[in-house]
């Protein structure tokens, strides 16, 4: 991945110099969970940051930025609120249990505000993200080792090569959100008890925990209702996913700013979506967040966040790389987010 080059190259440059690239008033790094033990439902998706490395990331960011709450984001972006250093707006996606157990205590200790973006369909462990189901299946394939036997229907689907664990796992991860029944059939055939896992491990926060986090001063934001890939949805469903999740937050957690973070990515979101929210109903939300890293935005109502779970690089290298990558993109005119018309 080309970005990796910038992560490495940025380590050679002074960080303060890098932060001047683009003159960003705000950066918005985001994580999913922080834990010493990588749970099976995440293991095959992305690296998990340890509490020690997370605290190190935070200490580094506190040196260079001023942490702000969700309510301050529009004020900083619009210039109504001026700060002596760039602002740091921290958020965490998907509402995993580690938010309450690990992340919130560290943030409270350091006095850093944050938003937890949640998906109502998973709160209280009613269901889990299809990617997590895939990770659980991949985990069971690894555990089976030489005893792994591909279910017959997957061999029919993918051919004889599916007998091999490596090929089987590769094909498993090509299945998308619209193929959840196939993912669940594979889990069933391999004896992976998804419901049992939800009940015993309880990967997600409960509504009670969310309400308690809000009482402690954290913000709860919407992360779509069921975490689909928006590019695969018709525009009406994209809009409904946003509106239903914002309504859910409003109904269940009082006095929250209306923050929405796209699940996966905002890439491929339809022109009609932006017409609906930016032109026709701008009052229905405060800020929307993508995951594309540092970019010049066409509207103060949209902010791109920075994914922080890249190998074990840490904040210095990831943020430095983002600035350098932005500077390189600016040279070739690819540093702006454009809204489809
Ligand atoms: Zn997510």
How much is the mean pLDDT over the chain?
95
Model pLDDT, residue 335? 85
Q: What is the per-residue pLDDT across 124-155, written as a single tens digit (0 to 9) for each? A: 999 999 999 999 999 999 999 999 999 999 99
For residues 101 and 54, the answer to whether their CB atoms sit within 8 Å is no
Phi and psi at residue 288, in whole multiples of 5°? -110, 145
Q: Where are the domains of the chain?
A: 2-127+206-331, 130-199
DSSP E strands: which ranges in the chain?
26-27, 29-31, 66-67, 87-88, 90-93, 114-118, 219-222, 259-261, 287-290, 302-304, 306-307
pLDDT tens readout for residues 256-266:
999 999 999 99
167 band by pLDDT with thresholds 50, 70 and 90: very high
* CA 307 / ligand 1 centre spacing (Å): 11
Instruction: Tell me the pLDDT tens digit for each residue of 170-223.
Output: 999 999 988 999 999 999 999 999 999 999 999 999 999 999 999 999 999 999
The superfamily CATH assigns to domain 2-127+206-331 is Glycoside hydrolase/deacetylase (3.20.20.370)
Taking only the tens place, the pLDDT of each residue in 8-34 is 898 899 999 899 888 899 999 999 999
Q: How many CB atoms lie within 10 A of CB 149?
A: 12
Confidence of residue 1 (pLDDT cuts 50, 70, 90): low
Residue 20's pLDDT is 87
Could you tell me the distance, in angstroms and rounded to a whole number, from the CA of residue 227 to the centre of ligand 1? 6
Give 154 Cα–ligand 1 centroid separation in angstroms. Answer: 27
Q: Which of the four pLDDT bands, split at 50, 70 and 90, describes residue 268?
A: confident
**In angstroms, what is the span from residue 57 Cα to ligand 1's centroid?**
21
CA of 142 to the centre of ligand 1 (A): 25
Q: What spacing in Å lies between the alpha carbon of 92 and ligand 1's midpoint? A: 9
pLDDT higher than 90, residue 70: yes
Span from the CA of 223 to the centroid of ligand 1 (angstroms): 7
User: Among 163-167, 200-204, 216-220, 299-303, which stretch is predicted with the lowest mean pLDDT?
Assistant: 299-303
Q: What is the pLDDT of residue 157?
A: 94
> How many angstroms does the Cα of residue 261 sit away from the middle of ligand 1?
8
């Amino acid at each position: 991945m080309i970005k990796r080059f910038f992560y490495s190259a940025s380590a050679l440059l002074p960080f303060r110099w890098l932060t001047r690239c683009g003159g960003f008033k705000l950066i918005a790094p985001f994580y999913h969970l922080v834990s010493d033990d990588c749970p099976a439902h995440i293991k095959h998706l992305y690296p998990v940051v340890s509490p020690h490395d997370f605290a190190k990331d935070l200490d580094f960011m506190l040196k260079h930025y001023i942490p702000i709450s969700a309510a301050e984001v529009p004020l900083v972006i619009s210039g109504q609120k001026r700060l002596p250093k760039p602002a740091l707006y921290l958020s965490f996606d998907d509402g995993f249990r580690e938010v309450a157990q690990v992340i919130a205590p560290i943030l409270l200790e350091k006095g850093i505000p944050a938003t937890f973006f949640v998906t109502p369909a998973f709160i209280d462990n009613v269901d889990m993200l299809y990617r997590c189901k895939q990770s659980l299946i991949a985990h069971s394939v690894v555990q089976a080792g030489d005893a792994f036997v591909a279910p017959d229907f997957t061999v029919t689907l993918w051919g004889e090569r599916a007998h091999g664990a490596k090929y089987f796992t590769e094909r498993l991860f090509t299945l998308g959100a619209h193929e959840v029944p196939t993912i669940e059939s594979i889990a069933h055939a391999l004896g992976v008890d998804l419901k049992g896992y939800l009940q015993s491990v309880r990967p997600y926060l409960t509504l009670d925990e969310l309400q308690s986090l809000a009482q402690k001063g954290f913000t709860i934001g919407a992360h779509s209702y069921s975490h689909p890939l928006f590019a695969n949805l018709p525009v009406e469903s994209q809009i409904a996913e946003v509106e239903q999740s914002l309504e859910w937050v409003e109904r269940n957690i009082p006095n929250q700013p209306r923050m929405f973070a796209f699940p996966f990515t905002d890439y491929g979101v339809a022109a009609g979506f932006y017409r609906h929210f930016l032109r026709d109903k701008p009052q229905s939300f405060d800020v929307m967040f993508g995951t594309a890293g540092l970019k010049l935005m066409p509207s103060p109502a949209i902010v791109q966040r920075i994914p922080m779970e890249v190998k074990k690089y840490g904040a210095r290298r990831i943020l430095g790389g983002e600035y350098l990558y932005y500077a390189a993109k600016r040279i070739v005119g690819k540093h702006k987010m454009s809204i489809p018309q």
